[in-house]
């Protein structure tokens, strides 16, 4: 007999109220797949972008179950998957959807075993964000002794970037945030300079930075190109404020003699094995207390819409986690 499990689906794109709890047949593991009984589900910024329905052309349709990362226990594996995964507690990337559910499906290549002393809640707070932070800094050729500016530091990617840069020997770490209270929390994680969203405020120096990690994009991006030191590198990893103006590249050309550069970075371009190596190291570091999972709130799965309302209202510092 078919087993029914609870999930949350987008029934209408737009407001968070368009999401509703539904009942679905328990997923079946196909070739190369595992089924995970979820213990924690990360609520990501990308889930909200998909829910708003503004990603025209990406083929998302109503009925989609959002959620790209979960942690929990493997309850079933595909016929070609090593049986030793059964019963193991894991973190998993579930793709662009499928996570907001009591049971989720993942490709075994997107699954990492969890250390005993790391909670599932902490795992879904760090599992995607911390590798993005690590590889974005690598992409920027960040080196000890350099200065770093993290634009949009209050989300899980920005927080991890601050901590990893601090542990990596950054000489100064500036953050942008709309909130002095968040600025103080970021100082506790390693930030040395707290700026407002425009980049103003804080001490007079440094005015320019060797590395800018930008999670915000939007109309303000060109003014942060101006905050790059000579030979400075900006890496754009997110666009929470939308796309930058189409002529933003003119800022680089105008500052030609500064030899600045700008790149984008997506974790999708990192080979899976390299991603997993870093993720496993980061989970171990988190279990030792060397990397902090900043959890804004833990809500039951059926309050996914409330989690999205909090995100839309800009209330979230770190990450909201759902539990089934
Ligand atoms: N590159 C990759 O591989 C990768 C992987 C996963 C996700 N992403 C992308 O990363 C982004 C989400 O990252 P996240 O969850 O860390 O960020 P987030 O929490 O959505 O946003 C980070 C912070 O930016 C600030 N902010 C929001 N709107 C702003 C605006 N209009 N202007 C200036 N600042 C603003 C807010 O902090 P304050 O209110 O404190 O200023 C917010 O907490 C998405 O764009 C997603 O697509 C990229």
Q: Say how many Å lie between the CA of residue 272 and the centre of ligand 1.
A: 24
Domain boundaries, the chain: 4-114+294-323, 129-268
Residue 234 and residue 259 in contact, taking contact as beta carbons nearer than 8 Å? no
Q: Which class is 4-114+294-323 in CATH?
A: alpha beta
The partner residues of 134 in beta bridges, in order of sequence, read none
- Residue 114 is classified by DSSP as P
Give the list of residues 6+ apart from residue 247 with CB closer than 8 angstroms, or none. Answer: none
What are the mean pLDDT values of the chain's consecutive 10-residue runs (324 residues total)? 92 96 96 98 92 76 95 97 98 95 97 96 98 98 98 97 98 96 97 96 84 96 97 95 93 95 97 95 96 97 98 96 98
Place of tokens 């094995």: 273
What is the C-alpha separation between 72 and 119, in angstroms, rounded? 10
129-268 matches 4-114+294-323 in CATH topology? no
For atom 17 of ligand 1, which residue has the closest CA? Answer: 155
Q: Which atom of ligand 1 is nearest to the CA of 314?
A: 39
> Both tokens of residue 302?
């059926």
Residue 292 and residue 317 in contact, taking contact as beta carbons nearer than 8 Å? no
Residue 107 and residue 276 in contact, taking contact as beta carbons nearer than 8 Å? no
Pocket of ligand 1 (CB under 6 A): 45-46, 128, 132, 152, 154-158, 177-179, 182, 197, 215-216, 218, 237-241, 265-267, 314
- 17's enclosing H/E stretch is none
What is the C-alpha separation between 246 and 255, in angstroms, rounded? 17
Q: Which atom of ligand 1 is nearest to the CA of 49?
A: 47
Of the candidates 2, 1, 21, 24, the residue with the CA atom closest to the CA atom of residue 10: 21
How far from 301 is each of 22, 77, 127, 163, CA to CA, in Å? 11, 24, 19, 29
For atom 8 of ligand 1, which residue has the closest CA? Answer: 238
Q: What global pTM score does this model have?
A: 0.95
> Both tokens of residue 101?
């559910």
Residue to mutate, 127, 158, 215, 219, ligand 1, most ligand atoms under 8 Å from C-beta: 215
Q: Is 66 helix (H, G, I), strand (E, B) or coil?
A: coil
Residue to mutate, 58, 157, 189, 241, ligand 1, most ligand atoms under 8 Å from C-beta: 157
What is the C-alpha separation between 39 and 33, in angstroms, rounded? 18
pLDDT at 195: 96
Q: Which fold has domain 129-268?
A: Rossmann fold (3.40.50)
For atom 19 of ligand 1, which residue has the closest CA? Answer: 155
Place of tokens 């030609």: 256
Cis-peptide into 224, omega within 30 deg = no
Q: Say how many Å lie between the CA of residue 156 and the centre of ligand 1.
A: 8
pLDDT at 205: 74
Q: Say how many Å lie between the CA of residue 193 and the centre of ligand 1.
A: 19
Residue to mutate, 135, 153, 224, 238, ligand 1, most ligand atoms under 8 Å from C-beta: 238
Q: Say how many Å lie between the CA of residue 240 and the centre of ligand 1.
A: 5
């Amino acid at each position: 007999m078919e087993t029914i499990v609870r999930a949350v689906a987008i029934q209408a794109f737009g407001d968070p109220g368009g999401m509703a709890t539904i009942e679905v047949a328990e997923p079946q593991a196909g070739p190369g797949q595992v089924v995970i009984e979820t213990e924690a589900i990360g609520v990501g910024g990308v889930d909200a972008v998909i829910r708003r329905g503004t990603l025209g052309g990406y083929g998302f349709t109503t009925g989609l179950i959002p959620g790209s990362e979960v942690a929990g226990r493997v309850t079933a594996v595909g016929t070609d998957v090593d049986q030793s995964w059964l019963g193991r507690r894991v973190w998993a990337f579930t793709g662009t959807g499928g996570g907001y559910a009591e049971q989720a499906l993942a490709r075994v290549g997107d699954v990492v075993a969890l250390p005993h002393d790391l909670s599932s809640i902490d795992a879904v707070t760090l599992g995607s964000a911390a590798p993005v932070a690590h590889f974005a800094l690598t992409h920027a050729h960040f080196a000890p002794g350099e200065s770093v500016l993290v634009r949009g530091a209050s989300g899980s990617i920005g927080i991890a970037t601050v901590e990893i840069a601090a542990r990596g020997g950054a000489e100064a770490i500036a953050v942008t945030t709309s909130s002095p209270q968040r600025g103080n929390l970021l100082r506790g994680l390693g930030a040395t300079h707290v700026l407002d969203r425009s980049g103003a405020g804080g001490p007079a120096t440094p005015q320019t930075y060797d590395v800018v990690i930008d999670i915000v994009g939007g109309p303000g991006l060109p003014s942060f190109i101006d905050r790059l030191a000579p030979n400075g590198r900006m890496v754009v990893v997110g666009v929470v404020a939308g796309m930058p103006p189409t002529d933003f590249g003119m800022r680089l050309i105008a500052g030609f003699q500064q030899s600045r550069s700008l790149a984008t970075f997506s974790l999708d371009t990192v080979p899976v094995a390299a991603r997993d190596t870093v993720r496993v190291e980061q989970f171990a570091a988190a279990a030792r207390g060397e990397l902090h999972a900043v959890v804004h709130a833990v809500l039951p799965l059926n309050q996914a819409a409330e989690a999205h309302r909090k995100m839309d209202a800009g209330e979230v510092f770190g990450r909201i986690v759902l539990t089934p």
